[in-house]
Amino acid sequence: MKHSEKLYNTISFSGVIGIVAGSIAIVTGIATGVIMIVSGAKLLFARREVLI
């Protein structure tokens, strides 16, 4: 295997890993945001029941 082929394969693999990691980060961020919005809404509705 030539050095240029090894370099090409390494760069290709790095690109794929970058795309996969970015996709996972986006999905995790969206899921976390949705969970935080739902939790905040529940807290806002629950404050009506709190008597001080």
> pLDDT per residue over 42-51, tens digit each?
999 998 888 7
pLDDT of 52 reads: 65
Mean pLDDT throughout 17-29?
Answer: 97
pLDDT of 15 reads: 92
Mean pLDDT throughout 23-36?
Answer: 97
Cα gap 48→32, rounded to integer Å: 25
In this structure, which amino acid lies at residue 39?
Answer: S
Token output for 38: 């739902």
SS3 51: coil
Residue 4 binned pLDDT confidence (cut-offs 50, 70, 90): confident
Cα gap 33→44, rounded to integer Å: 17
**Whole domain around residue 33: which residue ranges?**
3-49
Cα gap 46→52, rounded to integer Å: 13
Q: How much is the pTM?
A: 0.70
